[in-house]
């Protein structure tokens, strides 16, 4: 059986409207929380540190009132891969890996397979860090419209424009890309259906679906690229007709303003991340 609509099922990054505290925060605050806590997660290798981080990020997701089931639904297709990687880590990584806060102890050894307390810790901590990042991503993308995310990023990059960072252009590029991704996905679906209608073997669900030949990929990519270029040509004309000349002299409908809650949340998350970084080697286990 074929599945042509797989592209429609991408739910990661989908904005869910709501009125929670998190929804009402300035996008810059949310981007900053994401960055600060991600850095803390990156350097956190202990059980304790990660338990704290899982609880903290879970708390934030609960605050945003995004259903947990929705957050986890996005990773369903990746679960087989995750399990395979975890098993490989458990079996093969133990040799020579020094676990945090304890002496290395081998539970089982056979040939290249070394199951140690270290590899076990690695698997568990990796799983926890994965969940933390999932929560953080969901926190940002499910509560903030793409438009707000790009406005937030443009605003945050603006001070760097004196160093040559084209913040407006980057933001426009991001906006246009986000705007056209669903359109190109639709187009790809039709291209696949058109080729299947003439006898091509496409989009098969089930065994070995990801093995496609370069020829098959080319047959899909070429028309898609041509479509993308045609759209780009049209868009250029439309933008010119609407007097686009670059960032010089542009005004903006959207003006981001920090509220008191933003300062509070911003400060708290910064403090939290700094604390987690500072204490990362001082946790008991």
Binding region for other proteins (CB under 8 A) = 1-2, 4-5, 8-9, 11, 14, 16, 70, 73, 145-147, 150, 172, 175-176, 178-179, 182-183, 187, 190-191, 193-200, 219-220, 222-223, 226-227, 230-231, 234-235, 237-245, 249-255
Give the residue with the Cβ less far from other proteins, 85 or 224.
224
* 59 vs 70 by CB, closer to other proteins: 70
DSSP code per residue over 238-265? HHHHTT---STT---S------HHHHHH
Shortest spacing between CB 241 and other proteins, in angstroms: 4
Alpha helices of the chain — where are they, by DSSP H?
21-24, 27-42, 47-64, 68-73, 79-92, 117-141, 146-157, 167-197, 214-241, 260-278
CB of 132 to other proteins, least distance (A): 24
Please report how close the Cβ of residue 63 comes to other proteins at its closest, in angstroms.
20
Q: b or e along 114-136 (b: 16 or more beta carbons within 10 Å of the residue's beta carbon)?
A: bbbbbbbbbbebbebbbbbbbbb
Shortest separation between residue 262's beta carbon and other proteins, angstroms: 21
Give the up-direction half-sphere exposure of residue 63: CA atoms within 13 A in the CB hemisphere: 17
CB of 217 to other proteins, least distance (A): 11
What are the backbone angles phi and psi of residue 118, rounded to the nearest 5°?
-65, -50
Angle, alpha carbons 122-126-132 (nearest 5°): 150
Residue 51 or 185 with smaller CB distance to other proteins: 185
Q: Which is nearer to other proteins, 56 or 191 (CB)?
A: 191
> Looking at beta carbons only, is 239 or 275 nearer to other proteins?
239
Nearer to other proteins, 110 or 242 (CB): 242
Pair 96, 118: CB distance under 8 Å: no
According to DSSP, the residues that pair with 114 across neighbouring strands are 109
> Least separation, in Å, of the C-beta of 34 and other proteins?
19
């Amino acid at each position: 059986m074929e599945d042509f609509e797989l592209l429609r099922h991408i739910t990661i990054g989908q904005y869910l409207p709501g009125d929670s505290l998190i929804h009402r925060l300035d996008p810059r605050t949310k981007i900053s929380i994401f960055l600060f806590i991600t850095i803390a997660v990156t350097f956190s290798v202990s059980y304790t540190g990660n338990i704290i981080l899982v609880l903290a990020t879970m708390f934030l997701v609960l605050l945003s009132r995004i259903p947990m089931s929705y957050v986890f639904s996005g990773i369903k297709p990746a679960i087989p891969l995750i399990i395979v990687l975890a098993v490989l880590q458990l079996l093969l990584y133990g040799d020579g890996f020094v676990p945090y806060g304890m002496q290395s102890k081998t539970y089982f050894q056979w040939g290249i397979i070394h199951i140690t307390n270290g590899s076990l810790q690695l698997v568990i901590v990796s799983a926890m860090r994965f969940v933390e990042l999932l929560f953080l991503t969901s926190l940002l993308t499910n509560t903030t419209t793409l438009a707000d995310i790009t406005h937030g990023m443009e605003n945050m990059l603006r001070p760097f424009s004196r160093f040559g960072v084209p913040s407006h252009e980057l933001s426009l590029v991001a906006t246009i890309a986000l705007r056209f991704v669903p359109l190109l996905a639709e187009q790809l679906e039709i291209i696949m259906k058109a080729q299947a209608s003439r006898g091509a073997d496409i989009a098969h669900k089930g065994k070995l679906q990801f093995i496609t030949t370069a020829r098959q990929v080319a047959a899909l990519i070429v028309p898609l690229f041509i479509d993308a270029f045609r759209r780009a040509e049209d868009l250029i004309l439309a933008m010119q007709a609407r007097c686009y000349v670059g960032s010089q002299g542009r005004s903006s409908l959207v003006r981001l303003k920090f509220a008191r809650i933003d300062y509070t949340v911003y400060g708290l998350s910064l403090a939290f991340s700094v604390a987690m970084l500072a204490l990362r080697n001082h946790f008991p286990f």
